Structure 1
């Protein structure tokens, strides 16, 4: 299993709405995440900076990355775009983190 960590950037007035939308994550988005290998997925928020830290585990990064080509993922990105920093395709601006320690 590959452990992934990413930082994303919320607009400071969007914290509550971001949490609300994730609490009601669409069933088809949940299904897509699972189909593309995501498990043990958590998102944490730093309210002082607006940064989120996302952690998830996937069996294959290449397989997981293909979720970006699905209609449901593109629809989710568009839905979430007003709340966060995004790229021109509505995907969230992310900073991938390198794992430097893991306690087994």
Structure 2
């Protein structure tokens, strides 16, 4: 197709619009899955606890990899520390299942 033709121009505009929608969707997903929202959804974790955890560990992955004792060292009760570990492991499992299903759909 000639790059200067109306058909090419029309196809390019459709492609640009599809890309815009895809980027918007992924931004919404990223915002929804941000660090704060996942920690805030855990019972017993408020803004102060979330800030302590993120300052010490830096990421959800590192918090998930930390031991209950490491979390307790921040002044968090054992019950809440265990809840955090359980909740993050549950989130990791959901992510693995979703990734597996996505790969299965692609293949």
Name the structure with the higher helix share: 2
Q: Which has the higher contact order (CA 8 A, sep 6+)?
A: 1
TM-score (norm 2): 0.28
Name the structure with the higher strand share: 1
TM-score (norm 1): 0.29
